[in-house]
Structure 1
Amino acid sequence: MSRPVTPATTCAPLRARAEIDLAALRANVRTLRERAPHAALMAVVKSDAYGHGAVPCARAALAAGATWLGTATPQEALALRAAGITPADARVMCWLWTPGGPWREAVEAELDLGISGMWALREVIGAARALGRPARIQLKADTGLGRNGCQPEDWPELVAAARAAETEGTVRVTGLWSHFACADEPGHPSIDLQLAAFHEMTGYARAQGLDPEVRHIANSPATLTLPHAHFDLVRTGIAMYGVSPAPELGTPAELGLRPVMKLAASVALVKDVPAGHGVSYGHHYVTERDTTLGLIPVGYADGIPRNASGRGPVLVGGRWRRARGRIAMDQFVVDLGGERVEPGAEAVLFGSGERGEPTAEDWAQAADTIAYEIVTRIGSRVPRVYVDEEDAAGENAEDGVSEVDLGEEPSGDR
């Protein structure tokens, strides 16, 4: 969650920073709403908004027309309420429960609670009875993903128990939902099979007397490519942050999205070294000639993937460089090839790509992972600096102050 609001212009130079463009986020939400004009939009802000900062991003998404917020854990959802996002501001849903979770607090906070099995239904009913007020629940169907959700053979029991609890007045079934396994793979046969299962399972629930407000299965890729899967609500996660859900679907620009996060650091040291000089642990990189090395003061403790050693791209001095030698806990090295930059010069690890810098997808390819992981893993000691280009142009002036999460700088090298 974000720290106290501070004008960006008053901040001292930072070792590293993740600049979060809230104007880009709002533009992405508007684009996604246009893709699903007949459905409500849930802005998914789990995992601290995929590393971007849950509260600022939630507020920006709501300002752009989202009416629901989604989190994985109840603790994440309760933190949104504690930050002042009220039931009048947004419906908030959470779905990753374990036995003994904060059911009472969630019911009191008027959250919508994802229910995947009988144990969870029993616990939420107990909390609702103890409080003397109904819980809002959404039954999740496992239509083929094989993770959370109720299997088809167990669905009649869960539906019947939920219907009985609704008749008793302890719950209100507000939604029926599921999640795609392969919506990011156009034409995958599981997509139609899951949709058929979803129609069958929701149809059964409604035939048994449940009358949910919303049915939903569409995640970011389905929102972008499967209009027949939008139903009453779409859940947009990674696309809201301007990252393509999959390279096969197109680049962010091709999808009409703007990357929201820019990760940059200040070059900490530049030095001349001779040919044959080993670089970082294990000397997996040895200089071939006399050269200059630049020290980038972020490492795997900040979320920079160690397995991108030797490949991770950085824009320094107007040119792409690569992480040379091992990426360490707090730092890594780039070979400047004899060129010099001043200490304090900006090193851009990733951004929108519009100024020639690498993107999160470039780092994903270097680390053999997905861009979701690249942005989400950026650690808490990297401050989030909130910028808003629309405000700088004079729009939405009441929101023109940036938020800075100052974090805690390490006291020494370990």
Structure 2
Amino acid sequence: MPRVPHQPRVEIAVDLDVVSANVALLTERVAPAAMMAVVKADGYGHGLVEAARAARRGGAPWLGVATPEEAMALRDAGDDGPLLCWLTTPGDDLAPVVAAGVDVTAYDAREVAVLAEAGAALGRPARVQLKADTGLSRGGATPDDWPDLVAAAVRARDAGHVEVTGTWSHLACADEPDHPANDAQQDVFEAALAVMAEHGLDPGLRHLANSAAALLRPGARYDLVRCGIATYGVDPAPGAHDLAASGLRQAMTVRARVAQVKRIRAGAGVSYGHRWTAPSDTWVALVPAGYGDGVPRHGTNVLEVLLGGRRRPVRGAVCMDQVVVELGPDEADRVEPGAEAVLIGDAATGAPTADEWAAACGTIGYEIVTRMGGWRTVRTHHGEGTGP
């Protein structure tokens, strides 16, 4: 029996022209440093391959991803430009990414040895970037371990198995421009570069700045900046950066169509736990999008959606499949079933932004856009980049 066709419950619409424009703006802003557009985690929820193509059109010479799988997905899609990945684990087969000309990050001497082995097998040097842990205490070599990593890279380079193409680190507090950790980490990074000079190892491209630092800390731009969330028009430093003034625009719009509209009486409890009770008679709309589709449950009673040309509040608990939105007490407040509810979108349209939702939920815009999705949703792409 054929499946019954149906409209998607939730649409995640991505404007690729906006992604390209954001990249072009960032490229101009950070010059003479080069621009790396980070497209990890499925392009922060915008589509890995589509976001990558839009970023290239916007002028990004480099792309960045976390895992080898993401890197190979881009190569399989035809991207052959400079590309860095930085999150490997023991047992990963790195030969394919090395053969594909992907720059792979080494955190320690063990990883240098694995990459050197792949380079030796291929008969040409593996492209390797070294990461220093300057104070984030995440990936990379600490100052105590850094000399061993540099020495291993020198040996592999001298053997002809490795080419060091870059040296980098990551800031913990770039979204807080005045945080003392920023200066401290940059000092540690400079010290790491000095160790490389002592060993006679060219650092290649030096990069430290993420989106927030690229915009707010010009002295941290070095040769290259890595812009992730700013590429998609979400604020990397709320409160410290004026997104609208920068010209960056949110590329993602999430929308759903109203399933039901009804009037409830004063005193009616709404959704699980009756965490909101109608103080008077009012109209409500049922919107078929919930935490199973990426709407944060922390949005209970604090989120807004754009519906019928106005912001309307979410009332009661966010459910797995749906939310209830209050329309208002008057007949004129109601909308019809099938009306479009915009959950997040471009601020210029009047829609709530990912940053607004993040502030309401006590999280960051990164999480809002990246978590949107699921098999019940459909992601559509618009703009010049929708072709192959």
The TM-score with structure 2 as length reference comes to 0.94
- Contact residue 36 and residue 62 of structure 2 kept, 8 A: yes
Q: 2:33 aligns with which of 7, 29, 39?
A: 39
Q: CA RMSD in A?
A: 1.7
Aligned pair 1:27/2:21, yes or no?
yes
Counting aligned pairs with the same residue, the percent is: 51
Secondary structure in structure 1 of the residue aligned to 2:186: helix
Equivalent residue, structure 2, for 1:164:
155
Q: Matches of 1:120 and 1:268 in 2, distance apart?
A: 53
- Confirm whether residue 378 of structure 1 aligns to residue 369 of structure 2: no
Q: Is residue 69 from structure 1 mapped to residue 63 from structure 2 by the alignment?
A: yes
Give 1:277 deviation, angstroms.
2.2
Q: Does 1:106 align with 2:97?
A: yes
Q: Which amino acid aligns with 1:151?
A: T
Q: Does 1:128 align with 2:119?
A: yes
Is 2:346 the counterpart of 1:352? Answer: yes
Alignment match, 1:275? 266
Q: Residue 408 of structure 1 corresponds to which residue in structure 2? A: none
More divergent stretch after superposition (311-320 vs 249-258): 249-258
Aligned to 2:11, the other structure's residue is in SS state strand
CA contact (8 A) 1:244 1:255 kept: no
Rounded to whole Å, the distance in 1 between the matches of 2:185 and 2:274 is: 50
Q: CA deviation at 1:128?
A: 2.6
Q: Deviations over 1:184-227 (max 9, x none)?
A: 11121111221121112112213312224311111111111122
Q: How far, CA to CA, are the matches of 2:252 and 2:242 in structure 1?
A: 15
Q: Write the deviation string for residues 95-151 of structure 1: whole angstroms up to 9, x where unpaired.
A: 011111121111111110011112222222233333333211100011111111101
Which whole-Å deviations, capped at 9, do the CAs of 1:139-190 have from their partners, x for residues lacking one?
0011111111101111111111111011111111111111111111112111
Counterpart of 1:119?
110
Which residue does the alignment assign to 1:80? 74
Are the aligned partners of 1:40 and 1:234 in contact in 2 as well (CA < 8 Å)?
Answer: yes
The secondary structure found in structure 1 opposite 2:341 is strand
| 1:315-350 per-position Cα deviation (integer Å, ceiling 9, x unaligned) | 111221121111111111112123321111111111
Find the residue that maps to 2:35 and give its secondary structure.
strand
* 1:287 CA drift (Å): 2.1
- Among candidates 173, 179, 185, match of residue 188 of structure 1: 179
- In structure 2, how many angstroms separate the alpha carbons of the residues matched to 1:236 and 1:12? 37
Instruction: Please give the alpha-carbon distance, in whole angstroms, between the structure 1 residues aligned to 2:196 and 2:373.
Output: 42
- Consecutive unaligned residues of structure 1, counting only runs of 5 or more, are 1-10, 392-398, 404-414
Task: Please name the residue that 1:395 is paired with.
Answer: none
Q: How far apart in 2 are the matches of 1:360 and 1:69?
A: 23
Corresponding residue of 2:207: 216
Unaligned runs of 5+ in 2: none
**2:338 aligned counterpart, secondary structure:** coil
CA contact (8 A) 1:216 1:230 kept: yes
Aligned positions of 1:279-290 closer than 5 A: 279-290=270-281
Which secondary structure does the structure 2 equivalent of 1:153 belong to? coil
Query: Which range is displaced more, 159-168 or 189-198?
Result: 189-198
Kept in 1, the 8 Å contact 2:357–2:368? The answer is yes
Which of these residues, 138, 146, 163, is aligned with residue 137 of structure 2? 146
Quick one: distance in 1 between partners of 2:380 and 2:136? 36
CA contact (8 A) 1:184 1:221 kept: yes
1:13 positional shift: 4.9
2:11 to 14, 17, 23: 17
Aligned partner of 1:361 in structure 2 is 355
Distance in 2 between residues matched to 1:101 and 1:95, nearest whole Å = 12
- Report the TM-score, using the length of structure 1 for normalisation: 0.88
Moved over 6 A (4+): none
**SS in structure 2 at match of 1:330:** coil
Q: Conserved in 2, the CA contact under 8 Å of 1:385 and 1:402? A: no
